[in-house]
Amino acid sequence: MATAFSPANNTTVTTAANFIPEIWSDEIIASYKKNLVLANLVMRMNFKGKKGDTVHIPAPVRGSASAKGATNAVTLIVNTESEVQVSINKHYEYSRLIEDIVEAQALTSLRSFYTGDAGYALAKQVDTDLVQLGRSFNGATVGTDDYATSASSTKAYIGGDGTTVYNSSTSNASALTDAAIRRTIQRLDDNDVPMDGRFFIIPPSSRNTLMGLARYTEQAFVGNGDAIRNGEIGNLYGIPVFVTSNADTGAGNSGADRICLMGHKEAMVLVEQQAVRSQTQYKQEYLGTLFTSDTLYGVAALRTLASTGAAKSSSAFALAVPA
């Protein structure tokens, strides 16, 4: 658990006797990009160098074709566009204080650990914020902390069939099945979600389940050996499958059940106002160097409506599985 800045939290010759810290920004950025999963699958907007704390994203409504009769004027589609406001309110940092004696006496391998750890920590936080947006789809209230189901919302179904409503209070989650996957794909189809740009995020436990089923170890699922993206383990019914330990929990941050999330690129957006930045400052009072990496961004859910076929009907669905 992170703690506030204090000389007691520094890296000493005792705690890092075998290393020497030489932090390189490029290495941190490389580690950050390497560890991103969901952030690479959703909409990403570059807001770098621009002022303001809110980004307004237009949410145009799909139109429909009209029959054109001879000598008749064309039928104009009524504009009913709305917008999604993304608050740039997430600022996270990773900091260490490195004493001079450590730099003088330790080995060089600590640099790769620190840079890798900084990139991993920041990437994990960004992915976590995006994953938790899954709680706001299908009639749920944005910002709620679990997948509990009420009469007005069905936040998730169980992984066993894809049709039984998940209840976080009774924990009726069941292992992922082919039937549940196909049913979830149909939900996206019913909501007119484009096939291109879909993704399926699963926790490690569901990867173990899939690998135990013969059909998912066939070449059609495993792939043809081409380069794959971070966390990608195969392609299922034309949808790339990604495994991540950041998969959400069923009852908020304290729940034991895990959430598989199938969605589309347009389901969420990540707006980056400040990319990963690394800075150092010598602290004479501690005879050491303060190293900090930070990033500033905002996330938001886009197509979330529960009604099937609506202009902004849901483009993401959740399946609850055991941890």
Please state, in angstroms and rounded to a whole number, the distance separating the CA atoms of residues 316 and 266: 9
Given the candidates 3.30.1930, 3.40.50, 3.30.300, 1.10.10, the CATH classification of the domain at 139-269+302-321 is 3.30.1930
pLDDT for 47:
80
Checking if the pLDDT of 32 tops 90, the result is: no
Q: Strand 268-283 and strand 43-46: pairing?
A: parallel
- The model's confidence at residue 20, banded by pLDDT at 50, 70 and 90, is very low
Please state, in angstroms and rounded to a whole number, the distance separating the CA atoms of residues 7 and 285: 9
- Edge to edge, the sheet with strand 288-301 lists 43-46, 268-283, 288-301, 90-99
Which amino acid, residue 6? S
Share of the chain above pLDDT 90, in %: 22
Please state, in angstroms and rounded to a whole number, the distance separating the CA atoms of residues 314 and 263: 9
pLDDT for 307:
57
More confident residue, 18 or 219: 219
- The model's confidence at residue 263, banded by pLDDT at 50, 70 and 90, is very high
Checking if the pLDDT of 19 tops 80, the result is: no
> What are 164's strand-pairing partners?
none
Handedness of CA 176, 229, 220, 262 (dihedral sign): positive
- Residue range 86-131, pLDDT digits in tens: 888 999 999 988 888 876 766 665 667 778 889 999 999 999 999 8
Closest CA to 159 of 110, 206, 194, 220: 206
- Residue range 202-241, pLDDT digits in tens: 999 898 888 877 777 665 555 554 544 556 777 888 898 9
- Residue range 301-317, pLDDT digits in tens: 887 776 554 455 788 99
